[in-house]
Structure 1
Amino acid sequence: MQKLLYLLLMAVLPMGCQNKKQNSPERPNVILIYLDDLGIGDLSCYGSKQLQTPNIDQLAQEGLMFTNAYASSATCTPSRYALMTGMYPWKKKAHVINGDAPMLIATDAPTLPKTFKKAGYRTAVVGKWHLGLGNGNIDWNQTISPNPNDLGFDYSYIMAATNDRVPTVYVKNGKVDNLDPKDPIAVNYKENFEGEPTALTHPEMLRLKWSHGHNQSIVNGVPRIGFVKGGKSAHWVDENMTNDFLAEAQHFIQKSNQSQQPFFLYYAMHQPHVPRLPHPKFKGKSGLGARGDVILEADDAIGRLMSFLKEQKIADNTLIIFSSDNGPVLSDGYADHAIADNGTHRPWGKYRGGKYSLFNAGTNVPFIVWAPKMVKKGTSDALICQMDLINTFNECLHLAVDQHLDAQPLTNTLFGLNEKGRSHLMLEANARLWLRKGDWAYIPPQKGVAINPDIMIPLGRSVDEQLYNLQADTQEQVNLADTEQQQLIQLKKVFKEELQGEEPMFLYMTQ
């Protein structure tokens, strides 16, 4: 097995030689493509009939497609925290944060990019970040520290939070890009700046109306969360964001290729998160409204990325991992007709739930591994989580597996050499937990609304214990807690062991 890994994966240079410029089949480039709010049913390779995603499909056809792969959480910040650190986010109490929030990850913590740095890789993050910046009270007109470069990335070109939150600017290596010092930028999440228009005071300025929560500062005719003043030259154009991020990704790849040094690129795309404003080339293309259009736009960008790798003659020596940060949502703060335009399309696939939900579709996400010369193609039913990547790459890069992390080393699973994944996994939605073990899902009792009226997604909350067999009942309609007592006892035991003394008031929300 070790010999096979050596031939298929990479042999790490001795510590004293790690900075040498060397790229070889033993050390492939790695690109992690991470979409935002994409459901497992949004791709034709996972069964969508209404949306055709040929470029992502090609990754699946030539690679390994997982059916039981999970983000750690049903919302974005916690999933990204787990992805970067290999730790359960509920232990950190990580939650969705605002655009001015301080960095969630300690600069001395183990991270995924640091793993690649130790193995002599160049590293970059391009796209959505949403893990905080600075230490609080950010001055956006100066270099912001800490930033992603302090967590193991050599290069970073990011949006601070999400495209529906201020500041609507790109941050390049800790500095706001294209900022005019004569027009300084200021951000506030508590109160507006005097005289600045909002969606409530100047609705006539809107080209996209809000439905809930997004009624503060207006940028590019779009109402956002939070208040911003100044920095006009630095504001992004929403319709150009896909091309902006792709150009940055290509630039990093080209520079790395010229240096003949292997690279790790975290390419965090923003689709199909709100506000959904596709480039004019894709507007109306899907027949499913703006949400469908931006998914097709993302698929096209991935196709262009693959073509660029071939032009650079490095496609054969590049490993690509494709996934999403949580399950899908249709209506999420804007009056963009997403529910009406969706028709019979099922973004959640054969499952139940979506973003914010304890049901399976909240965290069961698309997950594809592509590297035709390294990965055994096909389909895998193995249980795997995105947070496992850090220890998986520690293992296959011949680095020490970090025993203090929640991440498991699953190299053989990731490369299709077997289907022995995790035995179980704790999953989270808005600080509430559930357990996946084998084919079973256990959701502990808790109070709260069953359906969020703003987004119309079943949240999975109940005062009763819930036990479902996900193999036999993909829609989680038949609660077996009363009839499968032995199974219930076993799962509750594992659930309690995983808590490890965490605060019950945090884990069992009552509102």
Structure 2
Amino acid sequence: MKMFRSLALFPLFIGLAVSAAQRPNVVIIYGDDVGFADIGINGSVMIPTPNIDQLALEGLNFTDGHCSAATCTPSRFSMLTGLLAFRHNARVLPPDAPLLIPTDKLTLPKLFKQAGYHTAVIGKWHLGIGTPGVQTDWNGDVKPGPLEIGFDYSFLLPSTNDRVPCVYLRNHRVVNHDPNDPIHVGKTLNDVQKPGSTQYPDGRTNRESMTVYQSTHGHNDSVINGIGRIGYMSGGKAALWDEQTISDVFVDEAHAYIKEHRKEPFFLYFASQDIHVPRYPHPRFQGATQLGHRGDAMVAFDWTVGQIMRALKKYDLEQNTIVIFSSDNGPVYDDGYADGTTVLCSQEESDRGHDASSVWRGGKYQIYEGGTRVPFIIRWPAKIKPGLSPAMVNQVDFMASFAHLLGVELPENEAIDSRNILPAFLGETKVGHQYMVEESFGLALRDRHWKYIEPVQPKWPQGRDPIEESLHDLNADPAEQVNFAPLHPEKAENMKAILNKLRTGTGARGTIQ
């Protein structure tokens, strides 16, 4: 283990902690399936994103910024706990999953609370709610959830917009819940066919009920608002969300939260559902691009970012608020819904179309760079000079870096994969990590521009090809088409050994500093 500790790039920076009077507000704006080049400043030509581009021009834009995994739940888990997802077997969760994060673990909101912050989460959750082995009661207090892991306030899509239940959850209660129309959630239609509850069509046997567009890949269980979902639901008709106004509702919630807590330090985790399927943007955004619902939904997300920034400006919070913009994984086009995206972004039209991963290979679900290399912008006018940074950084490091900024000591057994790279986040150095793990259905290790991918047979989604062991030089081959292992066998073996040490060791904080 000592040999790996000797590779540390960052000594402990004493004296960087801010005083109580200087504590910045922190807003994380988290995109969903947003690729590196889905924003204009990173190369998008066909999707206008003026608000995100302005955020980048006023902040630090990282060209090698990463989420920890190529799928949503694992990345969210890692960002909020400082743990790589494979350590907790964190995978994409079904609709009825219990709370994934143990209530006794240190989390990012708990860290901020220790420093005197009010904390909130608004948006897509997808980290489970309820107790393992116990059926969650959606008609009473719905818990444990965000409040039990450190958030003072929550307003959520309990799972995702393609999964049931299709209702908003404020703290522990379903918004607009009608006790005379009780909500039931299950894996099969029989699980939810309860007397006295509104029954919704089964998309598998009643495909004509999917009136917005057709769907497959399991997105065809209960049909809510004309769109097929994953999982079955009954009841809750008065509480159903309106697909096309979710962004507006979340913006209103964020504005109200910022207004109410403008006189105290706050941490707001804002998790947008755009541009996750099912994509059905508000009519005012439809036709904003030539890329169908996916491109138009990205324009809607850009509008959301603009509204949050306007709220901060309105209450004179711009200068001393850290705003982080990023995504939970790379892009995906065909993800179960026939919304027109796949046709517009087909291989035959890629030369004139939009490539959300830029020069990087792959996207969501894939171990290649396009799966985790995502937009990564940090804006803090009071401390950060605008610019471009090549530093290799990762969302899993928010825990250790914010702990250092706020003067909170991390226990040795908490956030074991989170490393303090505050100087890189603040733009004080353009050197980030030497080593970093990327995760999909297997693991990969970055060593600066080198990347080692371990062999794996993906079990899900069905039809994924086996991943062969390989070594890539991202400087020479950013598309990861050439396996350099035969030319550099010692490098491949060394990186494999480091990855195995990390897997079985005490975490990235002690193994691959």
Conserved? CA contact 1:132–1:161, under 8 Å: yes
Residue 285 (structure 1) aligned with residue 294 (structure 2): no
Residue 88 (structure 1) aligned with residue 84 (structure 2): yes
Shift of 1:452: 6.8
Shift of 1:2: 6.6
* Post-superposition CA distance 1:95-142 (Å, at most 9, x none): 001121110111110000011101111100000111110103100001
Distance across 2 between alignment mates of 1:476 and 1:44: 24
SS of 1:383 mapped into structure 2: strand
2:187 aligns with one of 186, 189, 194: 189
Which residue in the other structure is 2:207 paired with?
A: 203
Residue 301 (structure 1) aligned with residue 304 (structure 2): yes
2:139 aligns with one of 141, 144, 161: 141
Distance across 2 between alignment mates of 1:124 and 1:143: 18
- Where in structure 2 are there 5+ consecutive unaligned residues? 1-11, 194-198, 507-513
* Post-superposition CA distance 1:411-464 (Å, at most 9, x none): 11110001232221122113x1111111111112234599976xxxxx6743x4
Between Structure 1 and Structure 2, how many residues are aligned?
478
Distance across 1 between alignment mates of 2:425 and 2:505: 31
Residue 234 (structure 1) aligned with residue 235 (structure 2): no
Shift of 1:148: 0.4
Conserved? CA contact 2:457–2:465, under 8 Å: no
Conserved? CA contact 1:323–1:367, under 8 Å: yes
Shift of 1:212: 2.2
SS of 2:323 mapped into structure 1: strand
Code of the residue aligned with 2:446 in structure 1: it is R
Conserved? CA contact 1:358–1:461, under 8 Å: no
Conserved? CA contact 2:200–2:224, under 8 Å: no
Residue 120 (structure 1) aligned with residue 116 (structure 2): yes
Shift of 1:352: 0.4
Query: Scaled by the length of structure 1, what TM-score is found?
Result: 0.90
1:258-407 superposed matches below 5 A = 260-342=263-345, 343=349, 344-404=353-413, 405-407=416-418
Distance across 2 between alignment mates of 1:402 and 1:484: 39
Which residue in the other structure is 1:15 paired with?
A: none
Distance across 1 between alignment mates of 2:392 and 2:107: 22
* Post-superposition CA distance 1:301-356 (Å, at most 9, x none): 11111111111111112110010000100000011121212352001111001000
Distance across 1 between alignment mates of 2:323 and 2:465: 33
SS of 1:68 mapped into structure 2: strand
* Post-superposition CA distance 1:444-486 (Å, at most 9, x none): 2234599976xxxxx6743x42100112111001110101122
* Post-superposition CA distance 1:281-308 (Å, at most 9, x none): 0011111100000000000111111111
Distance across 2 between alignment mates of 1:189 and 1:116: 37
SS of 1:282 mapped into structure 2: coil
* Post-superposition CA distance 1:235-272 (Å, at most 9, x none): 10010000011111111111001xx1110000000111
Distance across 1 between alignment mates of 2:461 and 2:103: 38
* Post-superposition CA distance 1:184-231 (Å, at most 9, x none): 111112344346421122222212210322111010000101000010
Shift of 1:375: 0.9
Which residue in the other structure is 1:105 paired with?
A: 101
Q: CA RMSD in A?
A: 1.9
User: Which piece of structure 1 moves more, 316-325 or 416-425?
Assistant: 416-425
Which residue in the other structure is 2:436 paired with?
A: 425
Which residue in the other structure is 2:7 paired with?
A: none
Which residue in the other structure is 1:169 paired with?
A: 167
Distance across 2 between alignment mates of 1:292 and 1:494: 40
Which residue in the other structure is 1:437 paired with?
A: 447
Distance across 2 between alignment mates of 1:314 and 1:186: 42
* Post-superposition CA distance 1:140-173 (Å, at most 9, x none): 0011221101111110001111100000111111
Distance across 2 between alignment mates of 1:501 and 1:487: 21
Shift of 1:3: 8.7
Which residue in the other structure is 1:481 paired with?
A: 485
Code of the residue aligned with 2:111 in structure 1: it is T
1:55-70 superposed matches below 5 A = 55-70=51-66
Which residue in the other structure is 1:411 paired with?
A: 422
Distance across 2 between alignment mates of 1:213 and 1:477: 32
Distance across 2 between alignment mates of 1:448 and 1:229: 33
Shift of 1:4: 7.4
Conserved? CA contact 1:123–1:265, under 8 Å: yes
Alignment CA distance shift 1:365-1:29 (3 Å): same
Conserved? CA contact 1:401–1:409, under 8 Å: no
- Where in structure 1 are there 5+ consecutive unaligned residues? 13-23, 454-458, 503-511
Distance across 1 between alignment mates of 2:69 and 2:172: 27
Conserved? CA contact 1:188–1:226, under 8 Å: yes
Conserved? CA contact 1:439–1:471, under 8 Å: yes
Query: Scaled by the length of structure 2, what TM-score is found?
Result: 0.90
Which residue in the other structure is 2:19 paired with?
A: 11
* Post-superposition CA distance 1:33-56 (Å, at most 9, x none): 001000001111111111121100
Residue 499 (structure 1) aligned with residue 495 (structure 2): no
Give percent identity, aligned residues only.
Answer: 42
User: Which piece of structure 1 moves more, 135-144 or 421-430?
Assistant: 421-430
Conserved? CA contact 1:282–1:293, under 8 Å: yes
Code of the residue aligned with 2:486 in structure 1: it is D
SS of 2:293 mapped into structure 1: helix
Distance across 2 between alignment mates of 1:401 and 1:196: 48
Distance across 1 between alignment mates of 2:320 and 2:153: 21
SS of 2:16 mapped into structure 1: helix
Conserved? CA contact 1:391–1:402, under 8 Å: no
Distance across 2 between alignment mates of 1:122 and 1:357: 36
Alignment CA distance shift 1:448-1:324 (3 Å): closer
Alignment CA distance shift 1:119-1:501 (3 Å): closer
Distance across 2 between alignment mates of 1:154 and 1:29: 15
1:6-85 superposed matches below 5 A = 10-12=18-20, 24=21, 26-85=22-81
SS of 1:307 mapped into structure 2: helix
Distance across 1 between alignment mates of 2:458 and 2:88: 23
Which residue in the other structure is 2:472 paired with?
A: 468
Distance across 2 between alignment mates of 1:414 and 1:245: 27
Distance across 2 between alignment mates of 1:449 and 1:359: 17
Conserved? CA contact 2:124–2:271, under 8 Å: yes
Which residue in the other structure is 2:196 paired with?
A: none
Which residue in the other structure is 2:219 paired with?
A: 214
Conserved? CA contact 2:390–2:431, under 8 Å: no
